[in-house]
Structure 1
Amino acid sequence: MIVGLGVDVVDLARFERAVSRTPRLRERLFAESERMLPLRSLAGRFAAREALVKALGDVEDVHWIDMRIASDATGNPSFALEGPLAALLERRGVSALHVSMSHDAGVAVATVVAERLP
């Protein structure tokens, strides 16, 4: 059963300006394993984090870097369910998160579906 759906869009030029103006944003928003990715990929990951917050309604005690996104061998993204994020999902009964990210024409977009298995 779907218990939450979130979507977010990030303007790539605006995101690039923010990261250039405030270089510490990479450290505050992204896990170490993500920080060296191209800006368009970081913008997609930022959109996915925002979409996750919208899908769950609130992410108390979870920080931006806790919402790490990993890719499987074929490049499919997923949230790394560990630490505070895993504990929050367990408390809420969320058994799976599905994430899709894309970027084109100057924007990055992400959608997150939170699911609870019966």
Structure 2
Amino acid sequence: MIIGVGIDVCDVERFSQTLERRPGLVARLFTPAEAFRTPASLAARFAAKEALAKALGAPQGMSWQDAEIVTDDAGRPSFVVRGTVAAQAEAAGVVSIHVSLSHDAGIASAVVVCEG
């Protein structure tokens, strides 16, 4: 059963400029394993975290660090959730989180489906 669906888009150039103006934002939004990626990849990961929050009903108090995008050997993304995000997912009855990322023509996007 689908618990929630979220989608988000992010302008890569604007996101990159924001990160340049606020260097501490990278550490606040991304885990060390995510932080080394290109601006387009970071924008897609930010969009995924936003989409996940929407799929969970946009609850307050979730830490960006508690939702990490990892990729398998084939490049397929997935979420690793812990702490505040895992607690929200559990409370909503989520047992599986599906994520798709894309970036092209200066726009990064993500779709998240939470399944119970």
What is the TM-score when the length of structure 2 is the normalising length? 0.94
Unaligned 5+ segments in structure 1 are: none
Q: Distance in 2 between matches of 1:12 and 1:58?
A: 23
Q: Which letter does structure 1 place at the counterpart of 2:33?
A: S
The alpha-carbon deviation at position 28 of structure 1 amounts to 0.8
Q: Distance in 2 between matches of 1:57 and 1:39?
A: 27
Q: Contact between 2:56 and 2:88, CA under 8 Å: does it hold in 1?
A: no
Q: Which residue of 2 aligns with 1:27?
A: 27
The alpha-carbon deviation at position 32 of structure 1 amounts to 1.1
The count of residues paired between Structure 1 and Structure 2 equals 116
Q: Aligned to 1:43, what secondary structure does the other structure show?
A: helix
Q: Which letter does structure 2 place at the counterpart of 1:8?
A: D
Q: Distance in 2 between matches of 1:66 and 1:81?
A: 6
Which has more helix, going by share of residues?
2
Q: Distance in 2 between matches of 1:109 and 1:56?
A: 18
Q: Aligned to 1:28, what secondary structure does the other structure show?
A: helix
Q: Which residue of 1 aligns with 2:11?
A: 11
**Partner deviation per Cα, 1:7-46 (whole Å, 9 max, x = no partner):** 0000011001101111111011001111111111000000
Q: Which residue of 2 aligns with 1:79?
A: 79
1:1-118 mapped onto 2 (5 Å cutoff) = 1-116=1-116
Q: Contact between 2:3 and 2:93, CA under 8 Å: does it hold in 1?
A: no
Q: CA RMSD of the aligned region, Å?
A: 1.1
What is the TM-score when the length of structure 1 is the normalising length? 0.92
Provide the identity percentage: 49
Q: Contact between 2:3 and 2:92, CA under 8 Å: does it hold in 1?
A: no
